[in-house]
Structure 1
């Protein structure tokens, strides 16, 4: 295993602004049948992530499986190798980000940007991912973006180009008072060009089949 595999994959899911964990989108919003399922502050998701980036002017890549749990004020991510062994866990709150790897002391920083800069010199957006994984974003114009199969791409306020490549449907709980099936993201591609502030990075995220019930 390359020596940079674990720190890379750990930060593939890291947020660019840990101090803004709470989404600007209300979980009570009820989009039309044509748009993505309503946003949930509390959710658990699993899937796979592939990241491609430049290191020493050469392309590098890594793939990791993940379990993602979030509430309004916290994100917990567990990263697994392709064979199922735990690589690392990340706990992010508005106060700090803590990264724990097997056999090593936990590392912390005031935010994930700081932590990723210390380890790799670049960062990836989990405040963004908190929204993107459910089909929401803040567009370059500062307005709310709500994805749908017919409206599947956006450039975010912080320069990421998102494309919702494929979708899955999930039936709503009776308690949601929204009968029928609504689309949820299945595959998300995200790309950011190199700039004076950041390196070029591309992500491919594939989420496991959704369930109708929100995380407890």
Structure 2
């Protein structure tokens, strides 16, 4: 009886050790190929430099074919602005609950914040997808490294993930010398 118990205990211990020694997959690849992703959520940090001013904070973004919901927070996580975009209407709510609406999200952001941000195109840029008219530079795995599109220059960084389906962890978008937006994506949820 004791010998059977010891064999059972030893077997359980070996199974536990084997489970603990399993190395998690180092490079997560989305269940759906990047080119076919329609919806995603990100959480991360941003820094924005426009002319002599600079801003930084946190960002949470939900993107789906029916629209976008973008939450901008100060570095301490308090709400600074909420931008929602649906077909034909965009809405921006500031931290002091002032609400603005327009037909175009890019124009709304430019009018309210005073500088242009590519809200409408950023969803595709976050997925490292270029429009047919964009000038794209790719790496050996076929991933977008640099994109020139709609007056913007976008640089991509995939961290140490070599997968052709890797999603970017850093993105830098520039419009001339006056505007630079950097995004550091801490969490991807691709659907």
Q: Tell whether the structures are fold-level matches, with TM greater than 0.5.
A: yes
Measured in 2, the distance between the counterparts of 1:61 and 1:181 equals 34
Residue 70 of structure 1: CA displacement?
Answer: 1.1
Give yes or no for the alignment of 1:95 onto 2:88: yes
RMSD: 2.8
Other-structure match for 1:161: 153
Give yes or no for the alignment of 1:207 onto 2:169: no
Residue 79 of structure 1: CA displacement?
Answer: 1.3
Measured in 1, the distance between the counterparts of 2:73 and 2:140 equals 30
Give yes or no for the alignment of 1:42 onto 2:39: yes
Residue 147 of structure 1: CA displacement?
Answer: 5.2
Measured in 1, the distance between the counterparts of 2:181 and 2:35 equals 24
Give yes or no for the alignment of 1:189 onto 2:186: no
Q: 1:45 to 1:207 in 2, by over 3 A?
A: same
Q: 1:78 to 1:70 in 2, by over 3 A?
A: same
Give yes or no for the alignment of 1:76 onto 2:69: yes
Question: What is the DSSP-based 3-state SS (H/G/I as helix, E as strand, rest coil) of the residue aligned with 1:152?
Answer: strand
Q: 1:78 to 1:149 in 2, by over 3 A?
A: farther
Measured in 1, the distance between the counterparts of 2:184 and 2:84 equals 22
Q: 1:113 to 1:143 in 2, by over 3 A?
A: closer
1:83-123 Cα deviation digits (max 9, x unpaired): 11122211111211111124423211121233234324431
Q: 1:183 to 1:146 in 2, by over 3 A?
A: farther
Measured in 1, the distance between the counterparts of 2:140 and 2:183 equals 17
Measured in 2, the distance between the counterparts of 1:143 and 1:52 equals 24
Q: 1:85 to 1:126 in 2, by over 3 A?
A: same
Question: What 5-or-longer segments of structure 2 have no aligned partner?
Answer: 1-31
Are the aligned partners of 1:90 and 1:99 in contact in 2 as well (CA < 8 Å)?
Answer: yes
The alignment's TM-score, normalised by the length of structure 1, stands at 0.63
Structure exhibiting the larger radius of gyration computed from Cα positions: 2
Q: 1:159 to 1:135 in 2, by over 3 A?
A: same
Q: 1:163 to 1:181 in 2, by over 3 A?
A: closer
Are the aligned partners of 1:137 and 1:146 in contact in 2 as well (CA < 8 Å)?
Answer: no
Are the aligned partners of 1:169 and 1:182 in contact in 2 as well (CA < 8 Å)?
Answer: no
Q: 1:167 to 1:116 in 2, by over 3 A?
A: same
Larger mean Cα displacement after TM superposition, 68-77 or 101-110: 101-110
Residue 154 of structure 1: CA displacement?
Answer: 2.0
Measured in 2, the distance between the counterparts of 1:201 and 1:84 equals 24
Name the count of aligned residue pairs.
158
Structure with the largest fraction of helix = 2
